[in-house]
Structure 1
Amino acid sequence: MERRSVRFDHLIKMTDDAGILEHGFGTIPRRNEGYSTDDQARALWVCLEWIKHCNPENQQQLERLAEVYIAFLLWAQKADGHFHNNFAYDRSKEPEMPSDDCLGRCLWACAKAMTAAPAPSFAMVAESIFHKALPQVDHLRYPRGWAYSIAAFGELHRAGYDIDLTARIQDLAERLSALYRRNSAPGWSWFESEITYSNAVLPWGMLWAHEMLKRTDLLDIALNSLDFLIGLSQNEAGQIRPVGSQGWCRPGYRALWDQQPIDVMKLALASAKAYELTNMHKYKSTVKKCRDWFYGGNDLGVPMVNERDGSCCDGLSADGPNKNCGAEAVISYLMTEAIYEEWIQHEAQLVIIQ
């Protein structure tokens, strides 16, 4: 397993004293586009993953960034526990409807912080945010919010946290199962009538549910849907080709462009979880292909990442990479690398043990 040079310069550049800015013009932060709480949750997560893998200098920088991101979540949380998602550069709230996805991502990021915080005070803040947000889970209406919440509860369960979330896990898993049964059909093993964005988070959530509830029906749905998505997400050469955002995918139609880094990362995430639970090599192979996508293992054979500064292009179009490098893209690249780095270090430990 080959280790690549990973730099955090662009992540640092995109972050000011409030949080990570949402968009870039090339590699320059586009301040007039403001911030999203979604991105702060993602950025917090990726920092927590890399803190345990990097050298002391980078570790210190990432701990500082993580404090900025969790402070944003604390600020963005509303009195009822939900989160305001979109903010202008002047820190004013932009008009919006509550986002299930945002709530789920924040729960997941806080769960990770509760179990992997760089300091006890950090975990205390994450726990406060998590418990304040928890009642809002009962009002979630959309499947990605359900999946993130299941994963968050699973993370706490795995870490032995003294909080019983079994009933909520069962409820959310049943909702996802019912959605799958309603929409799946011969040749369409999926939760929805279309495949749109952040798709692999749905089987990922089901994998977490199976890990906690030990139900084979949940595992069957998780693996059937993931296998279907993997099959849709490869080109003729076997490289990763995520469903394009210019039209998405439905029975009889599949968009090729614009391919999004976040969909590649989520596919790597779900495949890594599937490999963890099943030890089936095909899922490990998919993770490697997802990583390769960022370095040129894609439809155009072009790198999406600048390894000199750690920036990542926002998408892949028919005429090449989108030269803008925003928050979602760099986080997706760094998270995919973190998944791979975890495996590199795990295999190195196995060699030492042997």
Structure 2
Amino acid sequence: MAIQEEVQQLTFSHISRLTDDRGIFEHAIGSHPRFVHGYCTDDNARLLVVSAREKNQPDSEIFERIAARFLLDAMMPNGKVHNRMSFDRVWTDQPSTDDCWGRAMWGLGVAVADSADTEIRNRCYEAFALGTQQRSRYLRSRCFAALGAVEVLKVDPANEDALGLVLDAAQVLNSLVHGSLQWPWPEERLTYANALIPETMLACGVTLNDAGLVQRGISLLHWLVARETNGEHLSVTPVGGCGYLGQAHGFDQQPIEVAALADAAKRARTITKDEYWDDVLHMAVTWFLGNNDSGVSMIDFETCGGYDGLEHDGVNMNQGAESTLAMLATMQLRPLLWSDAP
């Protein structure tokens, strides 16, 4: 069977395996959910993004409702967010504005803009409004929240709370110190969700008509792609990160980094119309299909799950929520590349 035909037959079957009526379980052993580790808001936010954007899977609305309900329960009246829930459905952490807050705001914003379910759109809009009371001291959390705010502004351009999130994020992004010619990245190290930073520059720049921020986002994304490319394929920043003097290519590599690059490339393509970004998106899609440093597929086509990590001699066989959702999110972008995609 041709690769494109296999990809077209991907379903949400592994998502169904990992999900019960409360939410998606965070971890798996092989393809089986690891109940002992419970649920987290981070992954249920990702599930809401993927399911709200999905138009071809008949069961996507079920997962959209489950994920939305999880985020609604995680959002506190003061706008802070819980992240960790045990298997017996008890929150085990204190609400915060850590990454879980930013990802929750992102998921809620995408649902407001993309969900076909009026009730979900309205409930997520209300929860998003609660979240706008807060700001995070963490850059990536602010970026995720800003992306959610940009989505809300698409359907409600007069929303001052959403605009406030975008303005605050843009101020932070504009204040980031420019690195050197050799290391233009605004942090000492590449860590995780790196492409999120230039993507948010693009999203905020377009929303605010800030051409300088857009240009900086494009330049930074160009540099990141070059840094994370090895020959004709992606070689994303490994677990543990990498600094200026560190080895550019290494292991283990995580699917979520590839998905972040894919999202950023799609946004850059939409803004600039530059076909270069199609090539980047193609590398992201094909990374999952074996065009990577180890030459192995990152998809289990029998389970429709995504493997947790690319290793120097193969894959991490576990198929957890983050990796599977990263794979599905990237594959949702393939119609931009393949004319026969559904």
When normalised by structure 2's length, the TM-score is 0.93
Higher share of residues assigned helix: 1
CA separation of 1:103 and 1:17: change in aligned 2, threshold 3 A: same
Q: 2:50 aligns with which of 46, 51, 54?
A: 46
In the other structure, the counterpart of 2:19 is 15
DSSP-derived class of the 1:253 partner: coil
Further displaced range: 163-172 or 316-325: 163-172
The question of whether the paired residues in 2 share the 8 Å contact of 1:7 and 1:308 is answered with no
The question of whether the paired residues in 1 share the 8 Å contact of 2:24 and 2:43 is answered with yes
Q: CA deviation at 1:130?
A: 0.6
Residue 173 of structure 2 aligns with an amino acid whose one-letter code is: L
Distance 2:113 2:159 in 1: 13
In the other structure, the counterpart of 1:212 is 207
In the other structure, the counterpart of 1:104 is 102
User: After TM superposition, what 4+ stretches of structure 1 lie above 6 angstroms from structure 2?
Assistant: none
Alignment of 1:169-184 (within 5 A): 169-181=166-178, 184=179
CA separation of 1:337 and 1:85: change in aligned 2, threshold 3 A: same
Q: 1:263 aligns with which of 257, 262, 271?
A: 257
Question: Quick check: 1:317 aligned with 2:317?
Answer: no
The question of whether the paired residues in 1 share the 8 Å contact of 2:234 and 2:287 is answered with yes
The question of whether the paired residues in 1 share the 8 Å contact of 2:78 and 2:130 is answered with yes
Question: Quick check: 1:144 aligned with 2:140?
Answer: yes
Distance 1:109 1:281 in 2: 28
DSSP-derived class of the 1:298 partner: coil
DSSP-derived class of the 1:321 partner: strand
Distance 1:145 1:47 in 2: 21
Question: Quick check: 1:194 aligned with 2:189?
Answer: yes
Taking every aligned residue pair, what percent have the same amino acid on both sides? 29
Q: CA deviation at 1:168?
A: 3.5
The question of whether the paired residues in 2 share the 8 Å contact of 1:7 and 1:307 is answered with no
Question: Quick check: 1:118 aligned with 2:116?
Answer: yes
CA separation of 1:97 and 1:117: change in aligned 2, threshold 3 A: closer
Gaps of 5+ in 1: 350-354
Distance 1:99 1:313 in 2: 29
Question: Quick check: 1:84 aligned with 2:82?
Answer: yes
In the other structure, the counterpart of 2:133 is 135
When normalised by structure 1's length, the TM-score is 0.90
CA separation of 1:10 and 1:281: change in aligned 2, threshold 3 A: same
Q: CA deviation at 1:342?
A: 5.1
Deviations 1:166-189 (CA, angstroms, capped at 9, x unpaired): 3432221121121243xx112112
Distance 1:239 1:146 in 2: 30
CA separation of 1:257 and 1:96: change in aligned 2, threshold 3 A: farther
Work out the number of aligned pairs and report it.
336
Question: Quick check: 1:154 aligned with 2:150?
Answer: yes
Distance 1:174 1:327 in 2: 33
The question of whether the paired residues in 1 share the 8 Å contact of 2:189 and 2:243 is answered with yes
The question of whether the paired residues in 1 share the 8 Å contact of 2:40 and 2:85 is answered with yes
Alignment of 1:292-331 (within 5 A): 292-331=286-325
Further displaced range: 256-265 or 3-12: 3-12
The question of whether the paired residues in 1 share the 8 Å contact of 2:81 and 2:95 is answered with no
Gaps of 5+ in 2: none
Distance 2:68 2:95 in 1: 22
Q: CA deviation at 1:80?
A: 1.4
